[in-house]
Amino acid sequence: MKLDGNGWLLQNFTSYMTYNIIAFGELLWDLLPEGKALGGAPANFIFRVNHFGNNGRLITRLGNDELGKEAMERVKEIGLPTGYVQVDENVPTGTVDVFLDKQGIPDFTINTGVAFDEIEFTSDIKELASEAHCIYYGTLVQRGDKSRESLFKLIDAAPKALKFCDINLRKDCYTPETLHESLQRADVVKINDDEIMELGKIFTLIGTDPRSYGEDLMMRYDLGILLVTMGPKGALCITQDGEFFYDSGYEVKVKDTVGSGDAFSAGFIHILLKTGDVHHALNFGNALGALAATTAGATVPISESEVMAFMRKYYV
């Protein structure tokens, strides 16, 4: 997926009213001291793009256990289609143990040998991929050989789709090889400012800051677009033809940042597919991420019109 001199996608999807978007990855429970919460960036992402009227599908796998059944019900409650949510009879639903260390700082362990490590590539998924406009994936789901192989088959089955990789590093759940393979297959990469500094060490990138590291990463992997999110400091975007955009973000009263990054990704992809305008997509993604941070949880509905009204109010 290449860009022309104006930063527009050469492959034009703008004649479509809705877009077929696939998110492949983990669905899991965060087991917190105060209780459990369903999580997973792919599900958060699909929730957002579908709320804008797109045809998003989540490909994941749950165990045939109580946590899996509860997760399936929760997915249905928030309106996500479950046709590609697989059920595994042999391994449990994914969980993350969240705890406080000796200094009282939150830490976590993402448990291994769980259902999202065993996602299968089926004939139904192959057919779904053939009609996809965008494939979303991250690195956590690639820690398991089975799921990683299925992801690569999915990407190969969708040669015309935009490939969006959210790097989303998780402790002990990635390798340099996983990162290399992910970047090689991506058209658009989203990464935060801490993560790109980590990639700078892993790949010995040339530079001293997120922008210079990003420019080197772009060149090495022939990426179409690189997005670097920087929390309250906004986000920057570098395109293949050398364009650089920066959005300073929005000052909001933060209630919960969980899912804000996924909202950013969803907003960016929605506008990119709809208009091809990279700068507008960056602004919209940042605005949606900010609005998401003002709500409790990752799945409070926010409409496209609400985002646009927020942007107009902010810039007037």
Domain boundaries, the chain: 20-315
Question: Cα-flanking dihedrals φ and ψ of residue 236, to 5°?
Answer: -125, 160
Structure tokens belonging to residue 27 = 């669905």
Say what the pLDDT of residue 103 is: 74
Contact 59, 84 (CB under 8 A): yes
The per-type count for the chain, helices as H runs and strands as E runs, is: 10, 13
Q: How far apart are CA 59 and CA 76, in angstroms?
A: 14
The CATH fold assigned to 20-315 is: UDP-N-acetylmuramoyl-L-alanine:D-glutamate ligase (3.40.1190)
Q: What is the pLDDT along the chain (316 residues), one digit of tens a residue?
A: 444 433 334 454 455 678 999 999 999 999 988 889 999 999 999 999 999 999 999 999 999 999 999 999 999 999 999 999 999 999 999 999 988 777 777 788 999 999 999 999 999 999 999 999 999 999 999 999 999 999 999 999 999 999 999 999 999 999 999 999 999 999 999 999 999 999 999 999 999 999 999 999 999 999 999 999 998 899 999 999 989 999 998 989 999 888 999 999 999 999 999 999 999 999 999 999 999 999 988 999 999 999 999 999 876 5
Given phi > 0 = left and psi -120 to 50 = alpha, else beta, which region is 295? Answer: beta
**Exposure string (b/e) for 89-123, b if CB count within 10 Å is 16 or more?**
eebbbbbbebeeeeeeeeeeebbeebbbbbbebee
Say what the pLDDT of residue 316 is: 55
* Residue with token string 């929005």: 250
Say what the pLDDT of residue 4 is: 42
- Give the predicted TM-score (pTM) of the model: 0.93
Say what the pLDDT of residue 48 is: 98
* Inter-axis angle of helices 41-51 and 260-275, nearest 10: 50
Q: How far apart are CA 151 and CA 22, in angstroms?
A: 11
Say what the pLDDT of residue 6 is: 37
Tell me how many degrees the CA angle 98-119-301 measures, rounded to the nearest 5: 60
Say what the pLDDT of residue 60 is: 99
Give pLDDT tens digits for 146-165. Answer: 999 999 999 999 999 999 99
Say what the pLDDT of residue 8 is: 38
Say what the pLDDT of residue 7 is: 39
